[in-house]
A and B are shown apart, each in its own frame.
Chain A
């Protein structure tokens, strides 16, 4: 039973380019979450999605960042016109249901480096 799968694991982008991070939740999970971990810090919530819907995007930067979880296929976190400050580890997580009693399982993260 595969866990949360993220790719790419490592991504290097030049300033101004676009970064796309993909996340396939655990089998049967329809709730996906994205978190960002800056160097030497804890994880910070970005967005919570259910199939085709954004449930909570209160942690998403207002510009350049977007996320989707289509009916078919993985969830995508998209960062346009990347800047050095976007360099971080981006973690995707999933849960079977959305209730607070449901365990959130994390992927291994995608490391974005902006040069």
Chain B
């Protein structure tokens, strides 16, 4: 079974600065997808960024980028030019890409989350 670990329960950053959130995962699969979701105080889960394991290039979405180290099974999220609206709980998640008769596709495995505080 896959596991996802976020070792930082809380992080803080000054507005306009850069912060990196860590995530490691454990899997025996070679084909998979990784995600970062944001959960603001409204509690809605919002997709921030995704990475396909077969792509070597790190994904970027505006101020958000990842550092994907497949061999190390590491998937960190970098937030540049932090804004007050970035304050939220951030979850790292894993999704199998293997064809297991379709049953594995729906299962996102989430980490425990990292609470990000942004100071003005």
Contacts and interface: CB of A to CB of B under 8 A. Distances in A.
* Residue among B42, B50, B105 facing the most chain A CB atoms (10 A cut-off): B105
A24 B59 CA distance: 31
Nearest to B98: A100
Contact of A58 (B47, B95, B107): B107
Contact of B108 (A45, A89, A101): A45
Interface residues of B, number: 27
Nearest to A102: B105
B47 A103 contact: yes
Contacts of A98: 102, 105-106
Given A42-B113, A100-B95, A100-B97, A109 B107 contact: no
A108 B42 contact: yes
B45 interface: yes
A44 B45 contact: no
A42 to B, nearest CB: 4
A48 B113 CA distance: 23
Contact of A43 (B95, B102, B110): B110
A17 B103 CA distance: 31
B50 A44 contact: no
Contacts of B108: 33, 35, 43, 45, 104
Interface of A: 31, 33, 35, 41-45, 48, 55-56, 58-59, 89, 91, 93, 98-101, 103-109
